[in-house]
Amino acid sequence: MTGFQSAFLKTLSERNYIHQCSDPEGLDALLDKETVTAYIGFDCTAKSLHVGSLVQIMMLRHLQRSGHRPIVLMGGGTTRVGDPTGKDESRKMLTADEISDNKAGIRQVFEAFLTFGDGPSDAIMIDNADWLLGLQYVDFLREIGRHVSVNQMIQRDSVRLRLEREQHLSFLEFNYMLLQAYDFVELNRRTGCRLQMGGSDQWGNILSGVDLGRRLGGADLFALTTPLITLASGAKMGKTASGAVWLNADMKSPYEYWQFWRNTEDADVGRFLKLFTELPLDEIARLEALDGSEINEAKKILANEATTMLHGADAAAEASEAARKTFEEGALAEALPTVEVPRADLEAGLGVLAAFVLADLAKSNGEARRQVRGGGLKVNDVAVSDERATLGAGDLTADGVIKLSLGKKRHVLLKAK
């Protein structure tokens, strides 16, 4: 899709954010004419979002920078139901308290990417619990249910796949798309919101809302989805050795976040620069054309840009410097993830295996032991050969720490306290 007039769609299109759009010409005209309110919904299933949601977050950012108004819709209500999309099994139910904790954690991330306030293009955050929790069942059925076709609902991928695979789908989950459709209509009533965006897996749910808006009396709503971001090697994006790449700093340190981007596959660098940084396109074109090992420079820029946007320039610089010392000089970097250990334990002698478990580099002594046999553990850059060895105060470096390494990439400092 090319030839957009509106700044927003032009940007999205150039940077490959667009997968599907319900009415590209109509939406383009609308965006070009007036300030448009658009929303993306986020589940509150964890205390933090992870990079899997970053495309959506960036899209809201672009929306705001193009002069429109983003709404972050927190799924405080829908999370109590659970989206069956892409899930093979029902999710455990979250309590109201868990959901509200999660909401608070997620809020922090958006503060970094969007400007909130009362101005015409200031972002707002709304919780669909505000209207969903008070719904009356019979009223809802009469007002909304009459416009919804079960025939269509069971055609949606999220439902169809479960049925085809003969997997359980509860009525509770079946209703998820209905609630999401209702959200769109309700947001339209409350804020004049015209556009819902989301990942490609949300296409069906979003269209349900567009449909419902039309059936209820002519609200002209739009749907726009982003492509599913996978790695060039085919894997899903966002998982690393240490688990999901969370956005909250207390769940994934800026250093690890920087590393995540630094380890991007060659073939993904250009695509990621477009999606996850705001560098000008000609600069990106130059970077992705770098050959062989020179492309590492592009990866560093990607890491710096992405980390700056989330954690700020200081944190990014620190992470970058720590990486330089660790990987390019083989020196000790203070900014590596640090775990404190009581000085008395060290003086008494701490088993190597236990030390790696403590540093969260191994899940159990057994795993640490296997890593020793495979030659994967290092203490102060020296490979561990004896699984019975102990660490003592004598192993502290001049900086007062012990550097533990798993493989070449994961390092943790043990600090006596």
Partner RNA sequence: GGAGGGGUGCCCGAGUGGCUAAAGGGGACGGGCUGUAAACCCGUUGGCUAUGCCUACGUUGGUUCGAAUCCAACCCCCUCCA
Work out whether 230 is an interface residue with RNA (CB under 7 A).
no
Least distance to RNA, CB of residue 298, Å: 8
Least distance to RNA, CB of residue 310, Å: 18
Work out whether 50 is an interface residue with RNA (CB under 7 A).
no
Work out whether 331 is an interface residue with RNA (CB under 7 A).
no
> Using the rule CB under 7 A, which residue among 5, 167, 338, 385 binds RNA?
167
Residues 6+ apart with CB under 8 A from 18: 1, 9, 12, 224, 225, 226, 227
Residues 6+ apart with CB under 8 A from 412: 336, 337, 338, 339, 359, 360, 361, 403, 404, 405
Measured CA to CA, the distance from residue 298 to residue 288 in angstroms comes to 7
Residues 6+ apart with CB under 8 A from 21: 1, 27, 222, 223, 224, 225
Residues 72-131 binding RNA (CB under 7 A) are 88
Chain centroid to Cα 288, Å, comes to: 23
Stretch that binds RNA, among 12-20, 49-57, 73-81, 288-296 (CB under 7 A): 288-296
Sort strands 37-42 and 69-74 into parallel, antiparallel or unpaired: parallel
CB nearer to RNA: pick between 206 and 323: 323
Least distance to RNA, CB of residue 2, Å: 30
CB nearer to RNA: pick between 141 and 267: 267
Instruction: Give strand ranges (E) for 2-42.
Output: 20-21, 37-42
Least distance to RNA, CB of residue 281, Å: 21
CB nearer to RNA: pick between 133 and 348: 348
Binding mask 345-374 for RNA (x = CB under 7 A): ------------x-----xxxxx-xxx--x
CB nearer to RNA: pick between 243 and 342: 243
Q: In b/e form, how buried is each residue of 322-344, taking b as 16+ CB within 10 angstroms?
A: bbebbeeeeebbebbbebebeee
Work out whether 11 is an interface residue with RNA (CB under 7 A).
no
> Using the rule CB under 7 A, which residue among 94, 323, 346, 352 binds RNA?
323
In terms of Cα–Cα distance, which of 246, 384, 403, 416 is closest to 336?
403
Work out whether 169 is an interface residue with RNA (CB under 7 A).
yes
> Using the rule CB under 7 A, which residue among 184, 410, 412, 414 binds RNA?
410
State the number of binding residues for RNA (CB under 7 A).
Answer: 47
* CB neighbour class for 234 (10 Å; exposed up to 12, middle 13-18, buried from 19): exposed
Please check whether residue 304 is in contact with residue 260, taking contact to mean a CB–CB distance below 8 angstroms. no
Binding region for RNA (CB under 7 A):
88, 163, 166-169, 232-235, 239-241, 259, 262-267, 292-293, 295-296, 299, 323-324, 326-328, 357, 363-367, 369-371, 374-376, 406-410
